[in-house]
Structure 1
Amino acid sequence: MSRGKYIVGALVGSAVVAYVCDKVISDDKIFGGSTPGTITNKAWGAATEERLQAWPRTAGPPVVMNPISRQNFIVKSRPE
């Protein structure tokens, strides 16, 4: 049972170290840089989403360009 204690402790410790490294490098930007305007500008995001949804498809049924942000994967033009 004593080995399990060390394994669980090591897993928890490595998760804490990974979280701290991610927080310091990504959010605090210790290596410089800034968050791009394409992420912070809500109008840009809305315009991009509109453009992606208006993109014409030439074959197959219309699909949503970003299925992760929606629950439906295939857009149906009429109910079946």
Structure 2
Amino acid sequence: MATKYIIPAVLGSFAIAYVCDQLIADKKIFGGTTPSTVSNKEWWEETDKKFQAWPRTAGPPVVMNPISRQNFIVKAGSES
């Protein structure tokens, strides 16, 4: 019964959010410009090359979940 109100409300909120995003971010109703570092594809490529060229000075790779790498001994039955 309440879904006839909830679904249109959710869809309406998405529509309002989309319109606000278009007006503020793309149409720039509050002024401003998009920085060239965001809009320039060549800048992105050069930045990526720079990051890939940096020497790796950190230690060896770290296991993100060391618990899953441990060997657990599973005992049959309960030993209380």
Higher RCO (CA < 8 A, seq sep 6+): 1
Same-fold status (TM-score > 0.5): yes
Provide the TM-score with structure 1 as the length reference.
0.68
Q: Find the counterpart in structure 2 of residue 60 from structure 1.
A: 60
Structure (1 or 2) with the larger CA radius of gyration: 2
Q: Which consecutive unaligned segments of at least 5 residues does structure 1 have?
A: 62-80
2:37 is matched by which residue type in structure 1? T
- State the percentage of identical aligned residues: 55
Q: Which consecutive unaligned segments of at least 5 residues does structure 2 have?
A: 62-80
Instruction: Tell me the distance in 1 between the aligned counterparts of 2:39 and 2:5.
Output: 43
Question: Structure 1 stretches (4+) deviating beyond 4 angstroms?
Answer: none
Deviations, residues 9-66 of structure 1 (Å, cap 9, x unaligned): 10011110011101110000001110101122222111100001011111225xxxxx
Instruction: Tell me the distance in 1 between the aligned counterparts of 2:12 and 2:40.
Output: 37
Over the residues paired in the alignment, what is the CA RMSD in angstroms?
A: 1.1
